[in-house]
Amino acid sequence: MLEVRDLVKEFGGLRAVDGVSFTLAAHTITGLIGPNGAGKTTLFNTIAGAHRPTSGSISFLGQAIGGQPPHRIFHAGLVRTFQIPRPFASMTVLENAMLAPAGQAGERLWNNWFARPAVRAQERRVREQARQVLDFVGLERLSGEFAKNLSGGQQKLLELARVLMAEPRLILLDEPGAGVNPTLLATIMDKLQELHARGITFLIIEHNMDLIAQLCDPVLVLAQGRLLMQGTPQAVRSDPRVLEAYLGGEAA
């Protein structure tokens, strides 16, 4: 589904991603781990179009996407979340979810004058879809609440709901477990497994090794911008190079 070949991203004299190559098979949950500063988020940003690659290639579903703007990559079915959720704080949970689908007729000003029935009909469909997605992630009861009033874990569920509204093929998740209480973390993990069973593919940055071990196979290990190894969670946790680079030389 995703193929990254010899990917390099430099910022001045800093090579944040250094010749990384890997492939993601469809219908898998792949983990991406590594110490702080390893280049994980830069890799995500480059795949998702926020950064233009210095060199190398990225293809998604057989199409080259390296250097494409984020909105084109989004429309192709590759979407991402952020470590710190970014909802529209003064809009409701339902409104945040309804914003996500692309190509809504009401986005064109003249349609609101000359094609009002079509705009209203589509808005009703999007609202119903949003309610279904919010019900799936457990936020339907909070649909009228302002997004700024949600807890950190609830905002991550809203972030997941927004990307689901885009009907993605591949989701890049940036630390879904960071700052989330154990109850909501269990909910997030359950929802990811359900979505995986529906055929959605995931690439997940995460520091919580228990989450990685339960959800992900394979696991990619990044260190100093380079792909150190990839393998099963068990193989990764016992590899001496990982123990040195990621776990400080001690077994997890």
What DSSP letter does each residue of 144-179 carry, written as one string?
A: TSBGGGS-HHHHHHHHHHHHHHT--SEEEEE-TTTT
| Chain length of the chain | 252
User: Tens of pLDDT along 176-214?
Assistant: 988 888 888 899 999 999 999 999 999 999 988 889 999
What is the extent of the structural domain holding 184? 2-87+151-245
98 with 131, same domain?
yes
Question: Does 204 lie in the same domain as 129?
Answer: no
Q: Where among 106, 125, 149 does a domain terminate?
A: 149
Specify the 3-state DSSP secondary structure of 205.
strand
Weakest mean pLDDT among 55-59, 64-68, 118-122, 133-137: 118-122
Residue 249 banded pLDDT, cuts 50, 70, 90: very low
Q: Is the pLDDT of residue 252 over 50?
A: no
Comparing CA positions, the residue from 156, 220, 174, 9 lying closest to residue 80 is: 174
Judge if 133 and 182 occupy the same domain.
Answer: no
- End-to-end Cα separation, the chain, in angstroms: 31
Give pLDDT tens digits for 75-95.
999 999 988 888 999 999 999
Q: Domain check: are 130 and 155 in the same one?
A: no
Residue 250 lies in a domain: no
Work out the pLDDT band at 104, boundaries 50, 70, 90: low
Q: Specify the DSSP element, H or E, that contains 220.
A: strand 219-223
DSSP β-ladder status, 78-80 and 63-64:
unpaired
